[in-house]
């Protein structure tokens, strides 16, 4: 009835966080209403064996997932296939409920197709999120759970926060993600050190056999990022997600001097560090690429660079609900052009 460009004009009249809340309300309705959900899924969800993969013992019907940060409280899981996503990642959630940072804390830059957020892990807390998740899990697509420490938890007790969350969510997730790379919780990125990462993943092995991945920031030197990823894998990590948002404020002229930037401004930076990590770790672990991905060509570049899966979030804001379908349609064209029978054959081809 309405094009997304029309809807976007209306949504962009609201503050970004208000627009997000409106979108969440709409997607919650979509998830509960089959008369809306099913036609949207039929239109947007690409179910083609050429895109299907088995990872972590779970089927990913297509390789494009929703990145963490959009569905913080697991309220939109049922709607995600209607947007075309092959998997979704909820969170980041913390043990205790958290209001996050003072508002305004989200900003959009339409000309740069980019977003800046300083949310600060605002979420309803592990107990409430788990209750929401139990209502929809297992879902029709794989669900990842992204976890972080509370803002007021001192660094020396951070391990306890992650332990509690791993134990709480291991039965209602297909994989878990350790988030120590958000720029919006004070000193959180200080935990991106080999000692803490090793302790964390060795601890995690004691409490779950579910795959646990490490999500890293794009703002460290490649050599440092590679060493941290190696430490995580040696200690038991099942994969690496690269990358989180960036604090390189030169990427968007006139942006705020706090929070993390995502969207098109992050494309090149995220891709560059992902390629360096993949050169070292492709074939040794599962790699997921995220950061400024909004087209099939961009997704395919990450896949050829070594990514088994890709994720998007900010692109959805600017491109709308047809974005994922278009990415997957373009991926099918690109793998056909290169003569591959399945997307798996394309993974890491730039490194072979």
Binding site, annotated residues for FMN: 68-72, 92, 146, 179, 215, 243, 263, 292, 313-314
Name the one residue in this structure whose structure tokens are 């794989």: 142
- Reply yes or no: is the peptide bond before residue 185 cis, omega within 30 of 0: no
- For the chain, the 3-state helix, strand and coil shares in percent, each to the nearest 5, are 45, 15, 35
CA distance 68 to 146: 7
Cβ contact 11:23 at 8 Å: yes
**What is the full DSSP assignment across 210-248?**
S-EEEEE-SSS-HHHHHHHHHHHHHTT--EEEE---B--
Name the one residue in this structure whose structure tokens are 């209607």: 82
CA distance 68 to 341: 30
Instruction: Specify the 3-state DSSP secondary structure of 322.
Output: coil
Active site residue 182: yes
Burial class (CB in 10 A: 0-12, 13-18, 19+), 1: exposed
42-90-306-205 Cα dihedral, nearest 10 degrees? -130
Count each helix (H run) and each strand (E run) in the chain, helices first. Answer: 11, 13
User: Known binding site for substrate: residues?
Assistant: 72, 117-121, 179, 184, 244-245
Q: Which of 272, 178, 186 has the alpha carbon at shortest distance from 231?
A: 178
Radius of gyration of the chain (CA): 19
Cβ contact 305:345 at 8 Å: no
Which among 82, 181, 182, 308 is annotated as catalytic? 182
Locate 195 and state its tokens: 């000692």
CA distance 123 to 117: 14
User: Known binding site: residues?
Assistant: 68-72, 92, 117-121, 146, 179, 184, 215, 243-245, 263, 292, 313-314
Locate 322 and state its tokens: 């047809």
CA angle 249, 250, 252 (to 5 degrees): 80
Q: How far from each other are the two terminal CA atoms of the chain, in whole angstroms?
A: 47
Give the active site residues.
182
């Amino acid at each position: 009835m309405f094009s997304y460009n029309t809807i976007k004009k209306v949504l962009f009249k609201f503050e970004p966080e208000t627009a997000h809340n409106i979108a969440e309300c709409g997607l919650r309705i979509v998830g509960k209403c089959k008369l809306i959900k099913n036609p949207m899924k039929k239109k947007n969800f690409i179910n083609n064996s050429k895109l299907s993969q088995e990872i972590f013992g779970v089927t990913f019907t297509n390789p494009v997932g929703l990145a963490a940060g959009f569905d913080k409280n697991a309220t939109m899981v049922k709607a995600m296939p209607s947007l075309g996503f092959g998997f979704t990642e909820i969170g980041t959630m913390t043990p205790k409920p958290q209001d996050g940072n003072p508002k305004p804390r989200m900003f959009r830059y339409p000309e740069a197709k980019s977003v800046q957020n300083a949310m600060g892990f605002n979420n309803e807390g592990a107990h409430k999120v788990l209750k929401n998740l139990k209502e929809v899990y297992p879902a029709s697509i794989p669900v990842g759970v992204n976890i972080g420490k509370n803002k007021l938890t001192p660094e020396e007790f951070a391990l306890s926060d992650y332990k509690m969350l791993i134990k709480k969510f291991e039965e209602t997730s297909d994989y878990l993600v350790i988030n120590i790379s958000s720029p919006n919780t004070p000193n959180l990125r200080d935990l991106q050190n080999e000692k803490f990462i090793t302790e964390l993943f060795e601890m995690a092995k004691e409490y779950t056999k579910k795959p646990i991945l490490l999500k890293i920031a794009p703002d460290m030197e490649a050599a440092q990022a590679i060493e941290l990823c190696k430490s995580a894998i040696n200690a038991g990590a099942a994969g690496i997600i690269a990358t989180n948002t960036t604090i390189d404020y030169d990427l968007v002229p006139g942006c705020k001097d706090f929070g993390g930037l995502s969207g098109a401004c992050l494309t090149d930076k995220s891709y560059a560090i992902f390629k360096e990590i993949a050169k070292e770790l492709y074939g040794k672990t599962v790699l997921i690429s995220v950061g400024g991905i909004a087209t099939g060509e961009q997704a395919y570049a990450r896949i050829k660079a070594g990514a088994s899966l890709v994720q998007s979030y900010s692109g959805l804001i600017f491109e709308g609900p047809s974005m994922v379908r278009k990415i997957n349609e373009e991926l099918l064209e690109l793998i056909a052009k290169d003569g591959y029978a399945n997307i798996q054959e394309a993974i890491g081809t730039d490194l072979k």
